[in-house]
């Protein structure tokens, strides 16, 4: 992912003034598990991530290595949230059961886990439905940002409780459904024995759509906290590597945001 950026560095949205060679890593695994998981990560990068970024991926065949990768990522993210007590009290026992089930699957103590795992592939968004206000930098969020959180909603009148692990990398979203364990509004995103066709992927869940827009708005708002010094560092780096910038995925996201903003202006002017 770092190779596809304009500057070759990471910046975390929660602390944009800190430039990193690699994202922070919190140790959750033993050395044997790190080696085991890293093999799945390499496999995913070579067979899924890079082909998708290069627009050469159209279908995913049934593959346990891909499922193991998704589960390993979301198990780590969910474990971290659980340890840091970011889980609501009513959901702790549910999350604990989920973590144990995923752990057993990753350790090959069972053939499959009891929770659905979904992958949704992302690309540039240059238009939106009439009336939908897109947050500034939406494509930067979709195609460049790394984000993760536990999504939860307490049960309330006519609406059941929701618990899921959401992890977003550049160009794709990974979701483990915890409660409910299934969602028919996610179309052709389930990692299963049937494979996945990227062209047929749809998310018809309006609640998730609203969450994604709000999450992008929240994440990109942190960039307003970047100091002038760090802004100058970025500008200097971009000018130094202008050829790399113009061929980077960061620039592709920038152009997509420019097109999206123009479309939004046209829509607003058409209403006035």
What are the pLDDT digits (tens) for 203-236? 999 889 999 999 999 888 866 665 666 556 555 6
pTM above 0.75, yes or no: yes
pLDDT grade for 171, boundaries at 50, 70 and 90: very high
What pLDDT score does 189 carry?
Answer: 93
CA distance 42 to 130: 41
Work out whether strand 117-121 and strand 147-153 pair parallel, antiparallel, or are unpaired: unpaired
Are the CB atoms for 256 and 126 separated by under 8 Å? yes
pLDDT tens readout for residues 82-135 = 988 888 888 899 999 999 999 999 999 999 999 999 999 999 998 888 778 899
pLDDT tens readout for residues 37-63 = 889 999 999 999 999 999 889 998 878
Q: Which of 222, 203, 242 is nearest to 140 (CA)?
A: 222
DSSP 223: G
Top pLDDT among 34 and 162 is at 162
Are the CB atoms for 40 and 65 separated by under 8 Å? yes
Tell me which H or E stretch contains 35. helix 31-44
């Amino acid at each position: 992912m770092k190779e596809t950026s304009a500057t070759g560095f990471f910046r975390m949205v929660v602390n944009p003034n800190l430039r990193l060679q690699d994202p922070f890593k919190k140790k959750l695994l033993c050395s044997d598990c790190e080696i085991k998981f890293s093999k799945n990560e390499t496999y995913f990068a070579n067979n899924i991530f890079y082909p998708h970024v290069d627009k050469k991926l159209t279908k995913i065949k049934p593959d346990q290595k891909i499922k193991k990768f998704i589960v390993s990522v979301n198990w780590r993210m969910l474990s971290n949230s659980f340890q840091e007590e970011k889980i609501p009290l009513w959901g702790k026992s549910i999350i604990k059961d989920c973590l144990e089930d995923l752990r057993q699957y990753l350790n090959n103590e069972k053939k499959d886990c009891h929770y659905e795992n979904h992958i949704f592939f992302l690309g540039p968004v240059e238009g939106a439905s009439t009336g939908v206000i897109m947050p500034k930098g939406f494509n930067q969020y979709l195609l460049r940002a790394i984000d993760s959180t536990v999504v939860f909603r307490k049960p309330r009148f006519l609406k059941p409780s929701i618990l899921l692990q959401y992890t977003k990398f550049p160009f794709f979203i990974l979701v483990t459904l915890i409660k409910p364990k299934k969602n028919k509004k996610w179309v052709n995103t389930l990692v299963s024995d049937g494979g996945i066709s990227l062209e047929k992927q749809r998310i018809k869940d309006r609640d998730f759509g609203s969450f994604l827009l709000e999450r992008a708005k929240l994440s990109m708002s942190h960039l307003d906290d970047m100091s002038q010094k760090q802004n100058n560092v970025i500008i200097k780096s971009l000018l130094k590597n202008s050829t790399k910038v113009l061929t980077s995925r960061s620039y592709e996201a920038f152009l997509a945001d420019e097109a999206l903003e123009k479309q939004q202006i046209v829509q607003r002017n058409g209403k006035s």
